[in-house]
Chains A and B, each alone.
Chain A
Amino acid sequence: MTIQQPVLDLSPKVSDEVRKTTCYMCACRCGINVHMKNGKVAYIEGNKDHPVNRGVLCAKGSAGIMQHNAPSRLRAPMKRVGERGEGKFEEISWDEAYDIAASWLKPIRETDPSKLAFFTGRDQSQSFTSWWAQAFGTPNYAAHGGFCSVNMAAGGIYTMGGAFWEFGQPDWDRTKLFILFGVAEDHDSNPIKMGLGKIKKNGAKVVGVNPVRSGYNAVADDWFGITPGTDGLLILSLVHCLLKAGKIDLEYLRDFTDAPVLIDADPKSPTHGLALLDDDGHKLVWDRTEKRARCYDAEDVDPDLTGVWEVDGIRHRTVFQHLAEKYLDGQYAPEAVAGATGIPAGRIRALAAEIARVAFDEAIELPIEWTDFRGRKHTNMVGRPVSMHSMRGISAHANGFQTCRALHMLQILIGSVETPGGFRFKPPYPKPATGHPKPHCKVTPGAPLDGPHLGFTHGPDDLCLKDDGSPARIDKAYTWDNPMSSHGMMHMVISNAHAGDPYKIDTLFLYMANMAWNSSMNTSGTMQMLSDKDENGDYVIPHIIYSDAYSSEMVAYADLILPDTTYLERHDCISLLDRPICEAEAAADAIRWPVVEPDRDVKGFQSALIELGAKLGLPGFVTDDGSQKFKDYADYMVSHERRPGVGPLMGWRGNGDETGRGAPNPAQLDRYIENGGFAIAQIPENAQFYKPWNAAYQEWAVEIGLFDKASPYLFTLWCEPLRRFQLAAEGHGERQPPEHLRARIKATMDPLPIWWDATADHGGADGEYTVNALTQRPMAMYHSWGTQNAWLRQIHGRNPMYLPTEIWEKHGFDEGAWARISSPHGEITVPVAHMPALNHNTIWTWNAIGKRKGAWALKDNAPEAKEGFLLNHLIHELLPPKQDGMRWSNSDPITGQAAWFDLKVKVEKVAPPADLTSKPNTGRQVSPVGQGPDKLAWEVE
C-alpha cells in the first residue's frame, strides 16, 4: 500500500542569530548559545566550544528562557512604604534610589565605615564587590562561602593549595576509581556529570559515599550509605588500613610533601609542633645520605621520612612519624568505626583495598619528561588513578574542616594529587595559603580599608581583632571563635547586627542572597530579626539595601531595592582574579554580555555599584576631578588594572594578541564576543601535571600573570596555622584566646586531621533528638530561583520529607502521611514519603522548594507555598544551650562554616492538617510585581 505522508520541512530556519554568552542558572558558568528570533530570546543550548560544558547543558540552563521572562522580575528601583516583611513598595527613579543610598552611606563612611555591612551572596564578581567594599572602608564584607563550602575550599588550600570545583578536578579521562563523598549535585554540575559519563564509558568504577542514594549516588557502582558527619572517621579508617598495609606513595611523600619535615616534638618547648626552620625561614628535612637537617628544596637533598634530630636538646621528628603514630592507633581500625559510620568493617576494608589495588596495581605512566623545582629531571609522569570529589556534603558540618583535610591527606598519601588519573588543579591553582593575602580589618573614617578583607590566617597575629580584643568584623570572622574563617561568615551577619554584638551597624547592604528565607538558618527567627523594632519604634537594623533581579522573600524585608537584570541582559566577567572557569589543561575566563537589553528600568548590580561608588566619591571609582571613572561594569572589565598589565580579563590584552598580561584593550569585549564569550590559554603538555613542583608550569604561570615569580611549595599534611592557634590555647604567645575557648581550640585545631562527633551537641538535653536530618539541592533547581521558572517548578514543586524504611515502619507511616519533625530549636509539620535507599537513621528533603506566600510572583495555590517547606526552621545559628550557660555557634570552630548538616531531629506521626499546608506559617508578602499569567506557550515568532 502506498503511504501518503505529509511533506515536512526538514530544514526549518532555527534562528536569526546565535549570541554566545555565559549561563547563570547556577554557579557553574557554562557557555550557552542564545538563539535569537526577531530580537527576542527563542532557545538556549550549550556552547560546544566552551571549556566548561562542551555543548551540554543542564535542566536549569535549557530552562533559562523561563527565568529570563519570569513574571517575578523586578521592574524598577523601589522604596519600602509598608512595614518590613509586608512587601509594600513604591517604584522610584534610579536617581532617587542613589540619593537614598548615599544619604545613609555617606555619613557612616565619614564617621565609621564599619557601620556598613556589605555581603554579596552568590556573587560571581567578588573581586569587584570586595574592591568596592575596600574602597568604602568597611571591614564587613564577604560573600556566601561561609555558609556554603568554605571548609572544602580552606581545607584544600591549607593542605595542598586548592580543593575541588573551581580549584581542581579529577583526571576524568584517566581515572579508574572515582570516590564521591557527600552531596555534590549542586556545584560543578555539568563537568561532574560529563566526568561520570566518561568514567562509565571507560569502564572505571564510581563509589558514592552518601547517606542518600540518589542522583550521582544512584549511578555509583558501589554505595556507602554513611551516617552524616562521619565521613572524616571513615576516611581516617581508610588511612589506617592503607598505612598498615604500606599502600602509600613513599616517593611522592618524600619529594613533594612535608612528610619529611622535622617538627618540634618536645611538649615543653614553646615551638612544640612547629616545623624546624633554617635562618631564612625554610623548612628543614632530615637528609638520609648526609645525615643532617637540610633545606627541603636543595637540589641534591635526600629527605627521610623517618628521621629524628635533636637540636639544642629539643627532639624533632618528621611529620610522617607523627602521622603514622596517630593513624595506626586502634581507634581508627574499621571495626572501631563501623558503628559510628554505619558502614560494616568489611566494606571499609574492601574500599581501602580497592583504593590500594587501583593506586598501585593499576598505576599509569605518561611518557612526558618534566623537571621539578629542585631541578631534577623526570623521564615520565607516574599516576595513581584514584580520584575523589566532594563539596557541601562533608563541608557543612562542624567537623568539616578537619574532614576535608582528612580527604586531602588521603589523596596525598596515595600520591594521586596532581598526577595522571588523580586530582588535578585548575589555574590559578595550585596556590597555597601562603600565596594568598591575609585578612585586613583596619578601619579609617573616610578612607579605604588597609587591604583585602578576606584571606588566610597563619596564627593568632592574623586575627581580625580590635585593640581591646573584640571582633573587628560584624560576622566575627577571624576571631578566636573561628580563627580561620577564610570566606567570612555571612550567616552570622543578621543575628549579630540584630544583637548589636560585637557592635551595632547602620546599613545592611545585601546582594543576591535570600537571607529572609532559604539562605539563613533559623528562617522564622531571621525574618523576625529583620523586622524587629527597638523601644523607640525604630528598626533594630536601621537600613537595609538589597539588590536582586527577582521578587524574592528577602525583597520584602528591605527598605531600598536596587533591581538587577537577568543574566541575559548584563555584563559580567568570570575572572581569574576571583572565580574563573579554568580547566586542568588550560586557563580560561569568560564574560556575560547583554544579548538583549532590559525592557525594564533595571541595571546590572555591578554597574549600579560603580555609579553609587562614584556618587560617594570612593577612591578608584572617581577620576582626579571627582567625576565617575568607569562608565559602567563593562568599562571596568576592560580598563581596570589590579596590578600593572593584569586586569579582570586575561584574553586579547594590549593590542589584542597578548594573553594574561598586557595593557587594557578597548576592543577586548568584542574579541570575547567573537570567540563565544570566553578566552582560553592552554597549559604546555609538560606542565600539565605535578604543577606545584613542575618548573615548566611555574614558568607558564608567571608568564600568564597568575603570579609574579615561581612559587613551588610542599603539600602540608601538618597544618602549622592550626598548631599556632593550639599553641596559643596552651598558653604560649602574646595574643591569648578567651578562657572559655581554650579547651575547644586545643581539642579541635589539631595540626593533623582528626574527627569528632559534631552532631553530639544537637541531641537536646534529654538526648531525644536522635535522627539525622539533611537537605540536598535537586539538580534541576538552583537555591530558590527554580521556583519562578515555569518549567522547572513543574519538576520540583513539592518536597516531601523522605524517611528510611526503619523510621517509616516504626511509626507506621503510609502514603499521604504527615509528620511533625522537631529539633531542640523548633518544629515543622510536613508531608513524608518512603525511601529505602537511604541511611537507616537519616531523613532528608529537597532544599529551598518551600516558598513564602506572595513571593516569586506565584499564586496562592502554588504547592511550594502550601505543602512546600524549609528544613531551615529547625536549624539555629547557635547550638542548643549547654550546662555552661553559653550559646555556642552552630558552625565549624575553625572556619565558622555553617554546620547545616549536623542537625538532629525527632520524628512523630501526625494526622494530615485539614488545609494540607505545612507548618510553620510564615505569613504572606505583597508581590510588588503581581502574579504570573494563567497560561503559557512561549513561542517566539
Chain B
Amino acid sequence: MTALPATTDKKLGLVIDLDTCVGCHACVTACKGWNTQNYGVPLSDQDPYGMPSGTFLNRIHSFQSQPEPVNDIPQLARTTHFPRSCLHCEDAPCVTVCPTGASYKRAEDGIVLVNEDACMGCGLCAWACPYGARELDQQAGVMKKCTLCVDRIYNDNLPEEDREPACVRTCPAGARHFGDLGDPESDVSKLVAERGGVDLMPEQGTKPVNQYLPPRPRDTLQAPEMTGEEDVLAPFLAPVAEEPKGLLAWVDRALEKI
C-alpha cells in the first residue's frame, strides 16, 4: 500500500488564497474540533493549561516580505498570512517511506491518509514531508494529518452543502476552496488558472495537489512617492477653485445645472 497509485480518479484538494487570508485561525480550530471528534484518535494536547503543545492538522504562519525597490524607491514591507496543511501530493514521499502500510494515497480521489490501525508511530513519514503536514500525536502515538475531511465530503448524514472540509466551511473570508484539481473544468482548477496558482517547494518534486494563489500586487495606488512616475490619478483632483469664494461660486453654478 505504500506504493503510490499510478493515477487517481480525482485529485481532491484545496486552493488557498493568500490574497484573501486574514490570518484569523478559524480553519485551525474548526479542523481541531472536527478531527478531535471524528477520524481516528482525538487530537491531544499536552500540558494544556501550563506550557502547552498539541496536535493540529492545519496551522497559519505569518510572513513578512520586503519587495525590491521600484525606480530606486524603497517599497513598503508586506505581511502575508499563510495557512499550511497537507498538500495531498501526487508524489507523496510520506507514503512511500512508510514501513507498515499505514500511509496511503487513495486511488479514487488522491487523498493521503494514515490508517491508524496500522501506524507504529515511527515518525518517518513526518520526516519525509517537506511541508510539516504530519504530526505524531503525543498521547496516542500515531501519526495525524489532514484527511481533507474524508468523513465529511462523502457523508450522507450531512446536508449536501456541508460536504466539504471543516476548514473550508468555516473560513469567514472565503480564502479556502475545495474541489477536484484533476478536472480542468472544476471551479478550483479555473480559479488556479485565472489567478496563477502555484506549488509550494516545487524543487522537492512532490507535485502537490493543493495550490496557493499568490497575493495580488500591493500598494498600487499611483503616488509619485511610491513609483517615481507621474501622478496618473491627478486629473480626478483637478481643482475647481483654490479659495472658498471660488468654490461657492462653482457650487452655485453647479446647483443651477442640477
A binds B: yes
For residue B155, CB closer than 8 A to chain A, the reply is yes
For residue A741, CB closer than 8 A to chain B, the reply is no
Residue of B23, B37, B50 near A940 (CB, 8 A) is: B37
| Residue interface bits B47-69, CB-to-A below 8 A is 1, else 0 | 11111111010000010101000
Q: Which of A185, A189, A790, A794 has the most CB of B within 10 A?
A: A794
| Residue interface bits A189-207, CB-to-B below 8 A is 1, else 0 | 1100110111011000001
For residue A241, CB closer than 8 A to chain B, the reply is yes
- Distance in angstroms between the alpha carbons of A793 and B29 in the assembled complex: 11
Query: Within B154-192, which residues are at the interface with A (CB < 8 Å)?
Result: 154-158, 161-162, 166, 169-175
Give the shortest distance, in Å, between B162 (CB) and chain A (any CB).
Answer: 8
- Distance in angstroms between the alpha carbons of A172 and B23 in the assembled complex: 20
Instruction: Check A937–B151 contact: CB distance below 8 A.
Output: no
Give the shortest distance, in Å, between B213 (CB) and chain A (any CB).
Answer: 10
Describe B's contact surface by its main secondary structure. loop
Residue of B48, B52, B172, B215 near A189 (CB, 8 A) is: B172
Instruction: Check A794–B1 contact: CB distance below 8 A.
Output: no
Instruction: Check A357–B151 contact: CB distance below 8 A.
Output: no
Instruction: Check B33–A14 contact: CB distance below 8 A.
Output: no
Instruction: Check A12–B38 contact: CB distance below 8 A.
Output: yes
Given A14-B158, A288-B255, verify A218-B5 contact (CB < 8 Å): no
| Residue interface bits B140-151, CB-to-A below 8 A is 1, else 0 | 100000000011
For residue B200, CB closer than 8 A to chain A, the reply is no
Given A197-B175, A222-B219, verify A251-B258 contact (CB < 8 Å): yes
Residue of B62, B106, B173 near A5 (CB, 8 A) is: B106
Instruction: Check A3–B5 contact: CB distance below 8 A.
Output: yes
Give the shortest distance, in Å, between B165 (CB) and chain A (any CB).
Answer: 12
Instruction: Check A11–B50 contact: CB distance below 8 A.
Output: no
The residue in chain B whose Cβ has the minimal distance to the Cβ of A347 is B223
Give the shortest distance, in Å, between B226 (CB) and chain A (any CB).
Answer: 7
Using Cβ atoms and an 8 Å threshold, which residues of chain A touch B26?
A: 56-59, 61-62, 193
| Residues of A in contact, count (CB < 8 Å) | 119
Instruction: Check A223–B48 contact: CB distance below 8 A.
Output: no
- Distance in angstroms between the alpha carbons of A356 and B239 in the assembled complex: 12
The residue in chain B whose Cβ has the minimal distance to the Cβ of A71 is B49
- Distance in angstroms between the alpha carbons of A837 and B62 in the assembled complex: 12
Give the shortest distance, in Å, between B62 (CB) and chain A (any CB).
Answer: 7
Given A3-B104, A5-B1, A934-B47, verify A217-B252 contact (CB < 8 Å): no
Query: Quick check: which of B76-84, B128-136, B203-211 contacts chain A, the rest being far away?
Result: B76-84
- Distance in angstroms between the alpha carbons of A321 and B251 in the assembled complex: 10
For residue B254, CB closer than 8 A to chain A, the reply is yes
Given A304-B255, A837-B76, A862-B50, verify A247-B19 contact (CB < 8 Å): no
Q: Which of B45, B80, B115, B226 has the most CB of A within 10 A?
A: B45
For residue B44, CB closer than 8 A to chain A, the reply is yes
Given A244-B242, A837-B64, verify A194-B172 contact (CB < 8 Å): yes
For residue B238, CB closer than 8 A to chain A, the reply is yes
| Residue interface bits A542-566, CB-to-B below 8 A is 1, else 0 | 0000000000000000000000000
Instruction: Check B49–A931 contact: CB distance below 8 A.
Output: yes
- Distance in angstroms between the alpha carbons of A932 and B66 in the assembled complex: 43
Query: Within B9-45, which residues are at the interface with A (CB < 8 Å)?
Result: 17, 19-26, 28-30, 32-34, 36-38, 41-45
Using Cβ atoms and an 8 Å threshold, which residues of chain A touch B20?
A: 196-197, 200, 219
- Distance in angstroms between the alpha carbons of A245 and B237 in the assembled complex: 5
Residue of B3, B106, B139, B258 near A1 (CB, 8 A) is: B3
Residue of A6, A344, A791 near B29 (CB, 8 A) is: A791
Using Cβ atoms and an 8 Å threshold, which residues of chain A touch B76?
A: 213, 223, 225, 837
Query: Within A782-806, which residues are at the interface with B (CB < 8 Å)?
Result: 788, 790-795, 797, 805
Instruction: Check B46–A935 contact: CB distance below 8 A.
Output: yes
Query: Within A840-864, which residues are at the interface with B (CB < 8 Å)?
Result: 857-863
The residue in chain A whose Cβ has the minimal distance to the Cβ of B17 is A200
| Residue interface bits B216-253, CB-to-A below 8 A is 1, else 0 | 11111111111000010110111111111001101110
Instruction: Check B52–A347 contact: CB distance below 8 A.
Output: no
Given A320-B251, A835-B64, verify A197-B172 contact (CB < 8 Å): yes
For residue B117, CB closer than 8 A to chain A, the reply is yes
Instruction: Check B22–A779 contact: CB distance below 8 A.
Output: yes
Instruction: Check A8–B244 contact: CB distance below 8 A.
Output: no
Query: Within A56-85, which residues are at the interface with B (CB < 8 Å)?
Result: 56-63, 65, 71
Given A245-B236, A321-B244, A351-B221, verify A935-B157 contact (CB < 8 Å): no
The residue in chain A whose Cβ has the minimal distance to the Cβ of B107 is A3
For residue A836, CB closer than 8 A to chain B, the reply is yes
Using Cβ atoms and an 8 Å threshold, which residues of chain A touch B234?
A: 349, 353
Instruction: Check A350–B47 contact: CB distance below 8 A.
Output: no
- Distance in angstroms between the alpha carbons of A57 and B157 in the assembled complex: 21
| Number of chain B interface residues as a range | 35 or more
Residue of B5, B43, B62, B241 near A244 (CB, 8 A) is: B241
The residue in chain B whose Cβ has the minimal distance to the Cβ of A215 is B22
Instruction: Check B52–A797 contact: CB distance below 8 A.
Output: yes
Given A244-B242, A940-B37, verify A190-B237 contact (CB < 8 Å): no
The residue in chain A whose Cβ has the minimal distance to the Cβ of B147 is A8
The residue in chain B whose Cβ has the minimal distance to the Cβ of A781 is B25
Using Cβ atoms and an 8 Å threshold, which residues of chain A touch B224?
A: 346
- Distance in angstroms between the alpha carbons of A859 and B155 in the assembled complex: 41
The residue in chain A whose Cβ has the minimal distance to the Cβ of B21 is A219
Give the shortest distance, in Å, between A770 (CB) and chain B (any CB).
Answer: 22
Given A11-B154, A63-B32, A933-B48, verify A218-B78 contact (CB < 8 Å): yes
Give the shortest distance, in Å, between B178 (CB) and chain A (any CB).
Answer: 14
- Distance in angstroms between the alpha carbons of A344 and B225 in the assembled complex: 7
For residue A48, CB closer than 8 A to chain B, the reply is yes
Instruction: Check A937–B44 contact: CB distance below 8 A.
Output: yes
The residue in chain A whose Cβ has the minimal distance to the Cβ of B117 is A6
Using Cβ atoms and an 8 Å threshold, which residues of chain A touch B44?
A: 935-937
- Distance in angstroms between the alpha carbons of A62 and B34 in the assembled complex: 9
- Distance in angstroms between the alpha carbons of A344 and B226 in the assembled complex: 9
Query: Quick check: which of A38-46, A111-119, A148-156, A760-768 contacts chain B, the rest being far away?
Result: A38-46
Give the shortest distance, in Å, between A134 (CB) and chain B (any CB).
Answer: 38
Using Cβ atoms and an 8 Å threshold, which residues of chain B touch A214?
A: 23, 62, 79
For residue A306, CB closer than 8 A to chain B, the reply is yes
The residue in chain A whose Cβ has the minimal distance to the Cβ of B116 is A6
Give the shortest distance, in Å, between B164 (CB) and chain A (any CB).
Answer: 11
Instruction: Check B37–A350 contact: CB distance below 8 A.
Output: no
The residue in chain B whose Cβ has the minimal distance to the Cβ of A938 is B36
- Distance in angstroms between the alpha carbons of A307 and B240 in the assembled complex: 19
The residue in chain B whose Cβ has the minimal distance to the Cβ of A326 is B244
- Distance in angstroms between the alpha carbons of A251 and B48 in the assembled complex: 61
- Distance in angstroms between the alpha carbons of A5 and B79 in the assembled complex: 42
Instruction: Check A254–B240 contact: CB distance below 8 A.
Output: no
- Distance in angstroms between the alpha carbons of A222 and B224 in the assembled complex: 14
Instruction: Check B79–A42 contact: CB distance below 8 A.
Output: no
Instruction: Check A10–B117 contact: CB distance below 8 A.
Output: no
For residue A221, CB closer than 8 A to chain B, the reply is yes
For residue A939, CB closer than 8 A to chain B, the reply is yes
For residue A536, CB closer than 8 A to chain B, the reply is no
Instruction: Check B174–A194 contact: CB distance below 8 A.
Output: yes
- Distance in angstroms between the alpha carbons of A306 and B244 in the assembled complex: 11
Cβ contacts A to B, 18 pairs, < 8 Å: A5-B107, A10-B154, A56-B171, A63-B32, A193-B173, A218-B23, A218-B81, A244-B237, A244-B242, A250-B251, A328-B241, A344-B226, A346-B231, A350-B222, A356-B236, A357-B236, A779-B24, A795-B25
Q: Which 9 A-B pairs have the closest CB atoms?
A: A932-B49, A353-B233, A193-B172, A197-B174, A859-B50, A246-B240, A836-B77, A790-B48, A59-B25
10 further A-B pairs in the complex, CB-CB below 8 A; given A244-B247, A346-B225? A48-B161, A55-B170, A59-B24, A213-B77, A213-B78, A218-B62, A223-B218, A223-B219, A861-B50, A936-B44
Which A residues have a C-beta under 8 Å from some C-beta of B? 1, 3-6, 8-14, 35, 37, 42-46, 48, 53, 55-63, 65, 71, 185, 189-190, 193-194, 196-198, 200-201, 207, 213-223, 225, 241-247, 250-251, 254, 288, 304-306, 320-321, 324-325, 328, 344-347, 349-354, 356-357, 361, 779-780, 788, 790-795, 797, 805, 835-838, 857-863, 931-940
